[in-house]
Amino acid sequence: MSGFVGVVVSDPSLQGQFTQVELRSLKAKFVSLKRDSGHVTTKNLPVMMKKLRGLNEVVSVEEIAAFLSESYPDSDQEIEFESFLREYLNLQARVSAKEGGAGGGRGGKSSFLKSSTTTLLHNLNQAEKSSYVAHINTYLREDPFLKKYLPMDPSGNQLFDLIRDGVLLCKLINVAVPGTIDERAINKKRVLNPWERNENHTLCLNSAKAIGCTVVNIGTQDLVEGRPHLVLGLISQIIKIQLLADLNLKKTPQLVELFDDSKDIDEVLSLSPEKMLLRWMNHHLKKAGYKKTVNNFSSDVKDGEAYAYLLKALAPEHSPETTLDTKDPNERAKLVLEQAAKLDCKRYLTPKDITEGSANLNLAFVAQIFQHRNGLTSDTKQVTLTQTATPDDVLVSREERAFRMWINSLGVESYVNNVFEDVRNGWVLLEVLDKVSPGSVNWKLATKPPIKLPFRKLENCNQVVKIGKQLKFSLVNLAGNDIVQGNKKLIVALLWQLMRFNILQLLNKLRFHSQGGSQGKEISDADILDWANSKVKASGRTSRMESFKDKSLSNGLFFLELLSTVQPRVVNWKVVTKGETDEDKKLNATYIISVARKIGCSVFLLPEDIVEVNQKMILTLTASIMYWSLQNQHQSQSEMPEQSEPSSMASDAASDIASEDGASTTAPSELDEVNSLSDSVSNLTTDDATSNAPSTENGNGNSAFHGAQSRRYQKWFF
């Protein structure tokens, strides 16, 4: 066992879908097929997949072949290992959906983001594509870089070509959540090389996770290839986040009008944006005299009657009685859209989309109506209620956001909208524990939502505390009932220990596999600090951090030097400020986060966390950079002998990069990194995702840029 090395999967979120036993088995089958046939394609893969667990008795070889042909229309196109894993997951999901959701997982709670993620279904919805193109044309047509490519024809496929360089998706994320990506970190040239494109897509996917998108089954190569079903699935999520951004009490405190004064505001805060939108719609429908309750954006709105009543309540000046009197659903839908157009709310759907019950487009339509005319009061007394109930501690609010995004990035079944509310039944925390410490949860003793009996929630939370103590968390003052009661301070303390455990666990696995399976000293916070200081010192710079709460870190220069050390070409020093003013500090902090995501770190902190030197978030940032750097170093070393020629090609190509923004063009090199580490961490190298397999079996493509060198851009942290 001393020589055991785990199977490499460059995306830990994808790796988290399988155990090492499953990965080794799948890898062995895949390698055997490739050895026997020379290449793995849609011609020979279906027969092998037919024998896999979950598929052997429910789907035929022909059906598998048809499924794969949707992503690989060219039957001779080679399929790489990670692409095979994604297709296996997607096929399992389709089979599960076909059987009515059997085996669909333990999670009983979902939201618009989780339930509507279209990355698992390969049917291209032309109506949705046209609507998304119209949305992009509207919001990005004046963008200095993109305006020469816009507007696109909604009926064409220009979208799938335009997203290949990654710029459009990065810009769209910034439209949805302004300031998420520092545009100085985006590679923007008329023609990008594969290296630069991959950086943009890595930045895009890490940033998408940071705003709440579910991207478990999407890789950078999927975006480079412009795979329609995956592209639309991601764009759909980004646009929904934009459209529903104001559907919360923080952005629109007038929403409190939808609830009784006695309503628990914390419970209101836990509502997903989609449920809040339904609540708002039904509020106005009831006032307008509509007798039914709308529970979804598909079957309940197909006849257009609910829309007629909604517009009558919100815009009576544009709503003649003839709309309600019309018996033909198609005619009513047409009249509804004519009225909505007067409010500038027709962009997302056609009469046919209404009558066919297109859930995504109808949701977007209602959200657009909300944005233009929500019909809520501006009564300051109502607003005061939410202001007094909302947490005053801005730091706690920021940490809640970071923990929420981290949990959602793990690939758990439940989708978290508000940490302090959604963890109170214990189920989400059990899912997280099962991810970071597989096998630790006794699911026979757990109760999944919806949970009506309070003592069942307490049982879940008690098991959470029990497991936490087994993992040696400091839980002296925490009991299961504290979680049930929503004690924010204690919940934050628990979540921080979970996140920190996850960080240290990943770094410990790096060393474990680099040492051939031998166990050494557990990595500590001090080791991470020493590593960062030794890296910067070895580069000839004098910056140093005394601790993770060192106030000198607020100017951001130490982290920019650290990032430049682990990836010499990634920092453009021409755009870096001295960090002397608060404004300059924030500019540097914003740039640090985007650069870290660009190289492959999945981080969830905000610029304010760096400027204010939030000790917890500073630790996660440093550990993320360390994890990425050491994992790359190990893979470069282990794969160089097997791929000396492709790696050389990648290095030559990288050295030829003409960087428009002034960043260094030095090709990345981590091969001598171990000499720069301090003695205490000199043996650290790679993650559980280390493999003996040839690096050509990379799920993100088979060109030189997708070999050992380019994988450094495809690493995820959590």
Q: How many CB atoms lie within 10 A of CB 85?
A: 25
What are the residue ranges in the chain where pLDDT is below 50? 1-5, 100-122, 380, 385-392, 640-718
Confidence at residue 502, expressed as pLDDT on a 0 to 100 scale: 94
Domain 525-636: CATH class, spelled out: mainly alpha
| Cβ pair 34, 693 in contact under 8 A | no
Query: What's 145's DSSP letter?
Result: T
CATH tag, 12-98: 1.10.238
Q: Which of 657, 556, 660 is nearest to 611 (CA)?
A: 556
Amino acid at 199: E
Q: Which residue has the tokens 């985007």?
A: 594
Confidence at residue 520, expressed as pLDDT on a 0 to 100 scale: 66
Q: Where are the domains of the chain?
A: 12-98, 126-244, 253-372, 391-512, 525-636
Confidence at residue 675, expressed as pLDDT on a 0 to 100 scale: 34
Confidence at residue 571, expressed as pLDDT on a 0 to 100 scale: 96
Asked whether the domain spanning 525-636 has the same topology as the one spanning 12-98, the reply is: no
The CATH H-level (homologous superfamily) assignment of domain 126-244 is: Calponin-like domain (1.10.418.10)
Interatomic CA distance for residues 199 and 569, integer angstroms:
12
pLDDT tens-digit map of 411-445: 888 999 989 999 999 999 999 999 999 999 999 99
Does 391-512 carry CATH code 3.90.1150.10?
no
Confidence at residue 661, expressed as pLDDT on a 0 to 100 scale: 44
Does 253-372 carry CATH code 1.10.418.10?
yes
Q: Which residue has the tokens 């709309």?
A: 323
Q: Any alpha helices (H) in 315-453, and if so which ranges?
A: 322-325, 329-341, 351-355, 359-372, 380-389, 394-409, 419-422, 427-436
Interatomic CA distance for residues 403 and 137, integer angstroms:
34
Q: Which of 574, 608, 717, 706 is nearest to 199 (CA)?
A: 706
Interatomic CA distance for residues 461 and 457, integer angstroms:
6
Q: How far is CA 162 from CA 142, 145, 150, in A?
A: 16, 12, 10
Interatomic CA distance for residues 556 and 575, integer angstroms:
13
Confidence at residue 145, expressed as pLDDT on a 0 to 100 scale: 95
Confidence at residue 633, expressed as pLDDT on a 0 to 100 scale: 76
